[in-house]
Amino acid sequence: MNVKSNMLLICLTLFLIQCRDRNIHGLQGSWKVDSVYSFYNGFDMTSPGQEPLYHFQPDGRLRMTKDKEFRYFVYKVHNDSLTYMTLDDKIVDALLIMEVNDQHLVLKKDKSLLFKGRNQERYEIKYFSKVK
């Protein structure tokens, strides 16, 4: 094989790995936020998770609970995208599913920029663990 064939094979393999099934059924269940990583133009910070518990139900509802309070949302998964909506279909959040398995869930959210200018990047990554 020549160099071009090898490069094509490597690119195709990477593409197929990115398109693999992420076991979306593994999303169902209860999850707690372990930590939140925030990035903005080279500055980053990790903070402990102090958010509500996320309960992804098989009927497509997401129940978020914190102490005795709770709220229901509707969630939809399309490929590697996760969207939360209010019960009247207003989008609340759109996230990228980076990883989901029996014990871990990793979600990335692109965030709006705080300053004007080009070549900026701002996002947040939430790391979850499954609650038994």
* pLDDT-derived band at 22, boundaries 50, 70, 90: very low
| pTM listed for this prediction | 0.78
Give domain limits for the chain.
Answer: 23-131
CATH of 23-131, one of 2.40.128.280, 3.20.20.80, 2.60.120.380, 1.10.10.60: 2.40.128.280
Closest CA to 73 of 65, 82, 61, 83: 61
pLDDT in tens, 60-83: 999 999 999 999 999 999 989 999
Measured CA to CA, the distance from residue 42 to residue 46 in angstroms comes to 13
Which residues fall within 8 angstroms of residue 119, CB to CB, at 6 or more apart?
none
Which residues fall within 8 angstroms of residue 25, CB to CB, at 6 or more apart?
none
Name residue 36's beta-bridge partners: 47, 126
